Amino acid sequence: MSILVNQDTRLVVQGVTGREGQFHTLRNRAYGTNVVAGVTPGKAGQDVDGIPVFNTVRDAVEATGANTSMIFVPPRFAPDAIYESLGAGIDLTIAITEGIPAHEMMRIYTHLRRGDQQLLGPNCPGAISPGKATVGIMPTDVFAPGRVGIISRSGTLTYQISKEIGDLGIGQSTVVGIGGDAIVGSSFIDILQKFEDDPETDLVVMVGEIGGDEEEKAGAFISANMTTPVVGYIAGFQAPAGKQMGHAGAIITGSSGTAQGKKDALEAMGVEVGTNPTEVAQIVSRRLG
């Protein structure tokens, strides 16, 4: 069945006429994603390689039935782009843009919790259901259809672990990057629940990193609510305390949020954790029998 993106995805790209927006839009379409529209204010009536461009997301939805949006606009315009997507009734919004201020995301997060629409990101690589559809910037050649779901805060580690398990002949049902910022639209728990409900996902790999307590919250959720087995990985075992590493959310404060602390907490709640991507792949292979 896959989650989030599939053959029913009808994608509109906000910022489609920009260099990055156009490049990744055409890559997504080449993979098989049904890209039905693009949006750039003031450029209605134009097209990008046959993809019609509209002034607003609402116009695109009314004309094409778009149900998913991908956002490639500069940070200062991205919050408005997210609100526009939500206001037009888009089911899933994927914000690739990085650099959105935390206080803007606080407002967006609060707004999201009033309804049932989904946001991935910001500062995320998107989502892919191998062989069906991709929305985002993931390198599609490292994925293959299968029955392992992957959810990650890190784009690069998502690709690495997917390749490691792929080298063992194990494919993925859906791979989801939620973004590495301190405040993102979807949590581990939000996506874990979708994998739990997916009959085509037999095991989930959760890729976390230092900073915050989202992995520990996810561990408690897994212990109480999931029958689908989950394997974990935490990036940042060598990270020094008090130094931000990579993502805005990846910072250790005092003794909180360390890789070892997260590993210990997750394993106490029944989630086996690998210490490197190769070990994670070996655990996945063993758990699948």
Question: Model confidence over 129-182: pLDDT tens digits?
Answer: 999 999 999 999 999 999 999 999 988 888 999 999 999 999 999 999 999 888
Total residue count of the chain as it appears in this document: 289
Nearest to 234 by CA among 186, 188, 183, 166: 188
Q: Taking residues 77-104, what's their average pLDDT?
A: 97
Nearest to 123 by CA among 259, 250, 288: 250
Is position 242 within any domain?
yes
Which of 189-198, 207-216, 235-244 has the largest mean confidence?
A: 189-198
Task: Quote the percentage of the chain above a pLDDT of 90.
Answer: 84
The CATH number covering residue 250 comes to 3.40.50.261
Residues 105 and 151 in one domain: no
The CATH number covering residue 111 comes to 3.40.50.720
Residues 159 and 275 in one domain: yes
CA gap 224, 146 in Å, rounded: 26
Residues 155 and 95 in one domain: no
**Residue scoring higher pLDDT (247 or 68):** 68
Distance of CA 252 to the CA centre of its chain: 23
Residues 225 and 113 in one domain: no
Task: Quote the percentage of the chain above a pLDDT of 70.
Answer: 92
Coil/strand/helix, residue 106: helix
* Residue-level pLDDT at 241: 58
Q: Taking residues 94-114, what's their average pLDDT?
A: 95
Is position 133 within any domain?
no
Is position 5 within any domain?
no
On whether the CB atoms of residues 142 and 277 are closer than 8 A, the answer is: no
* Residue-level pLDDT at 235: 85
Res. 289 pLDDT band, cuts 50 70 90? confident
Q: Taking residues 49-61, what's their average pLDDT?
A: 98
| Structural domain boundaries enclosing 240 | 139-288
Is position 2 within any domain?
no
CA gap 177, 39 in Å, rounded: 23
Is position 126 within any domain?
no
Is position 6 within any domain?
no
Q: Quick one: CA torsion of 213, 215, 218, 224, rounded to 10 degrees?
A: -90
* Residue-level pLDDT at 217: 94
Q: Taking residues 109-113, what's their average pLDDT?
A: 94
Residues 261 and 151 in one domain: yes
Is position 132 within any domain?
no
* Residue-level pLDDT at 209: 86
Residue 169, CA distances (Å) to 132, 133, 162, 165, 200 in order: 19, 21, 11, 7, 17
Residues 148 and 219 in one domain: yes
pLDDT for 82 beyond 60: yes
* Residue-level pLDDT at 245: 52
Residue 205 backbone phi and psi in degrees, to 5: -105, 125
Residues 152 and 243 in one domain: yes
Active site residues: 247
Residues 91 and 181 in one domain: no
Nearest to 122 by CA among 186, 174, 56: 186
Residues 44 and 172 in one domain: no
Residues 148 and 283 in one domain: yes
Residues 153 and 86 in one domain: no
Query: Total domain count for the chain?
Result: 2
* Sheet of strand 172-177: strand arrangement: 133-136, 126-129, 172-177, 145-152, 203-209, 230-235, 272-274
Q: Which residue has the tokens 């931000």?
A: 244
* Residue-level pLDDT at 250: 47
Nearest to 117 by CA among 149, 164, 85: 85
CA gap 241, 228 in Å, rounded: 34
> How confident is the model over 215-263, as pLDDT tens digits?
999 999 999 999 999 999 998 665 555 555 555 554 444 445 788 889 9
Q: Taking residues 88-114, what's their average pLDDT?
A: 96
Residue 151, CA distances (Å) to 106, 148, 172, 207, 215 in order: 22, 10, 11, 6, 11
pLDDT for 91 beyond 60: yes
Residues 157 and 105 in one domain: no
